[in-house]
């Protein structure tokens, strides 16, 4: 809009969600200050560079920094809209308890500079009730302001919960095009947040209350986890019965109302394997299915280690290739990855016999140190290794033709080589090619 005054925006947390979000808000013409506690991150962004890998993000950040629309700092400044996108890890108590301390720390910072008319939006994945907890904290710090839901009068500030639902590798596209849930502490707060998101989101923005929006985000990832657990459980049953799970799933999916997901070596990443626990923590008595799904998906990792171990032991002179470390296909993110966990476990057991192929890695992660395992490329693996454990469905593995795999012993946990002939069982009920 010509001559329209754009809100000044402060994005707190410049990680995988915060930085792309800051960049697309800046692209929409709003001046954005990105706040981060790490000085090197701030310096990198102020040079117009990025510290994370994401498709097309480098060019976008470079452009908005050059145009003076995005700058980063470790010091908060007044703004009109604050967007909080900081991590919510587990507490270190071993019980999957959500740790919202980064959110509350960010809210305290914001409370120091907030003024009447401002909007505070929480985007981090959070247990139900966190937005209200954040509001209560800020209200305690700023008794001079009226906060929504705590006053009958018109509040001075608006507070909302608006989760992202983007897929790594497609973040910029999905930030702009996905539908969004916008949960206000009050309907007025939701409308304020809605007006802000309409500046840069093309998808439909649906307003609700903050608690429903918090639960919606958790439910989305728990839904996926439960469905992957079903596929992983099927794969373990199929192993025991000597069936090809991929064939069974693809046949079942021909039913018009059946859509079974894909089994794998377990569920990785920072969302699907984490968020369901936030629901379990909030309702421990009522979450048998969600909890069991989590345990099934974690258990699949141990099932894969046991099968792979049996296979390697059955071929005592064979060189072993573990294909992939990433938590899913075609990305360079190895954090919380079942593939990495399985490969490291095999490396500890079988030492220099184990070779890891990971085109997105320059070197092996720390836990491989002193195991004797080495990082090799796929061509070398095909030339020199006899046993293949497929852990990630990277395209570069998927395209290896049968002729180059002939005679190999294969455990394909991702189903990327359906034409691989099944080997003789290493023990009753265990087939080698999945």
Q: Which of residues 43, 89, 140, 167 is near ligand SAJ by CB under 6 A?
A: 167
Containing 234, the helix (H) or strand (E) segment is helix 210-241
- Using the rule CB under 6 A, is 20 a contact of ligand SAJ? no
CB of 115 to ligand SAJ, least distance (A): 31
User: In terms of CB distance, is 79 or 301 closer to ligand SAJ?
Assistant: 301
Of these residues, 162, 189, 271, 434, which one is catalytic? 271
CA-CA-CA-CA dihedral for 418, 419, 423, 426, to nearest 10: -10
Footprint of ligand SAJ on residues 326-345 (CB under 6 A)?
Answer: 327-328
- Shortest Å, Cβ 418 to ligand SAJ: 16
> Per CB under 6 A, which of residues 216..275 are in contact with ligand SAJ?
220-221, 224, 228, 261-262, 264, 267-269, 271-272
Name the minimum Å distance from CB 232 to ligand SAJ: 7
Q: Can you name the residues that pair with 120 across neighbouring β-strands?
A: 82, 159
d(C-alpha 219, C-alpha 103), whole Å: 20
> The tokens 């290896």 sit on which residue?
400
At closest approach, how far in Å is the CB of 59 from ligand SAJ?
22
Among 10, 30, 205, 217, which one carries the catalytic annotation? 217
Spatial CA neighbour of 84 closest among 125, 56, 115: 125
CB nearer to ligand SAJ: pick between 14 and 139? 14
48 vs 87 by CB, closer to ligand SAJ: 87
> By beta-carbon distance, which residue lies closest to ligand SAJ?
271
Question: By rule CB under 6 A, what count of residues binds ligand SAJ?
Answer: 20
Residue 217 appears among annotated catalytic residues = yes
Could you tell me which stretch among 161-169, 234-242, 283-291, 308-316 binds ligand SAJ (CB under 6 A)? 161-169
| Cα 143 to Cα 104, 147, 160, distances in angstroms | 17, 9, 20
Minimum CB separation of residue 210 from ligand SAJ in Å reads 18
Report whether 148 contacts 131 (CB < 8 A).
Answer: no
Shortest separation between residue 306's beta carbon and ligand SAJ, angstroms: 18
- The Cα 172–Cα 184 span in angstroms is 24
d(CA 18, CA 9): 12
Among the listed residues 219, 391, 232, 222, the one whose alpha carbon sits nearest the alpha carbon of residue 297:
232
Scan for tokens 């019980």, then name that residue: 95
- Compute the least distance from the CB of residue 267 to ligand SAJ, in Å: 4
Q: Under a CB-based contact definition with an 8 Å cutoff, are residues 174 and 167 in contact?
A: yes
Q: Which of 8, 51, 165, 349 binds ligand SAJ (CB under 6 A)?
A: 165
Please report, as residue ranges, which positions from 103 to 132 form the binding site for ligand SAJ (by CB under 6 A): 125
CA distance 174 to 154: 35
Distance, in Å, from the CA atom of 66 to the CA atom of 100, rounded to the nearest integer, reads 34
Q: Cα–Cα distance between 56 and 285 in angstroms, integer?
A: 44
Q: Which is nearer to ligand SAJ, 65 or 325 (CB)?
A: 325
Binding to ligand SAJ by CB under 6 A, coded x per residue (else -) over 134-153, reads: --------------------
Q: Is residue 374 a contact partner of residue 355, using CB atoms and an 8 Å limit? A: yes
Catalytic, 271? Answer yes
Collapsing DSSP to helix, strand or coil, 341 comes out as helix
Instruction: Report whether 359 contacts 323 (CB < 8 A).
Output: no
Which residues bind to ligand SAJ, rule: CB under 6 A? 125, 164-168, 220-221, 224, 228, 261-262, 264, 267-269, 271-272, 327-328
Catalytically active residues, by annotation:
217, 271
């Amino acid at each position: 809009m010509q001559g329209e005054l754009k809100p000044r925006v402060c994005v707190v947390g410049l990680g995988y969600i915060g930085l792309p979000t800051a960049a697309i808000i800046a692209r929409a013409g709003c001046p954005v200050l990105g706040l981060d506690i790490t000085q090197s991150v701030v310096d990198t962004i102020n040079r117009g560079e990025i510290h994370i890998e994401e498709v097309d993000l480098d060019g976008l950040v470079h452009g908005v920094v050059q145009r003076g629309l995005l700058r980063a700092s470790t010091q908060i400044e007044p703004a009109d809209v604050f967007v909080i996108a900081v991590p919510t890890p587990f507490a270190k108590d071993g019980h999957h308890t959500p740790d919202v301390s980064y959110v509350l720390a960010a809210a305290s910072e914001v409370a120091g500079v907030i003024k009447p008319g401002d909007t505070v939006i929480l985007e981090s994945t959070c247990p139900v009730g966190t937005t209200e907890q954040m509001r209560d904290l800020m209200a305690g710090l700023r008794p001079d302001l009226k906060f929504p839901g705590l006053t009958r009068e018109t509040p001075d500030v608006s507070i909302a919960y608006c989760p992202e639902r983007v897929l790594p590798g497609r973040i910029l596209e999905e930030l702009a095009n996905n539908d969004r849930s916008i949960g206000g502490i009050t309907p007025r707060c939701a409308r304020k947040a809605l007006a802000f998101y309409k500046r840069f989101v093309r998808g439909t923005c649906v307003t609700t209350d903050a608690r429903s929006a918090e639960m919606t985000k958790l439910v989305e990832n728990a839904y996926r986890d439960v469905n992957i657990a079903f596929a992983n459980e099927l794969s373990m049953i199929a192993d025991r019965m000597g069936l090809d799970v991929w064939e069974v799933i693809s046949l079942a999916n021909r039913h018009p109302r059946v859509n079974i997901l894909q089994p794998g070596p377990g569920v990785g990443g920072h969302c699907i394997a984490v968020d369901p626990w936030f629901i379990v923590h909030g309702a421990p008595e009522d979450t048998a299915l969600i909890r069991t799904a989590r345990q099934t998906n974690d258990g699949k990792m141990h099932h894969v280690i046991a099968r792979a171990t049996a296979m390697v032991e059955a071929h005592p002179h064979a060189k072993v290739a573990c294909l992939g470390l990433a938590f899913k296909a075609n990305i360079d993110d190895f954090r919380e990855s079942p593939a990495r966990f399985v490969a490291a476990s095999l490396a500890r057991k079988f030492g220099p016999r184990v070779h890891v192929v990971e085109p997105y890695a320059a070197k092996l992660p720390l836990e491989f140190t002193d195991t004797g395992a080495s990082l090799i490329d796929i061509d070398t693996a095909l030339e020199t290794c006899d046993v293949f454990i497929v852990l990630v469905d990277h395209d570069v593995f998927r395209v290896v033709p049968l002729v180059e795999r002939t005679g190999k012993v294969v455990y394909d946990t991702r189903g990327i080589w359906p034409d691989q002939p099944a080997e003789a069982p290493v023990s009753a009920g265990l087939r080698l090619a999945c």
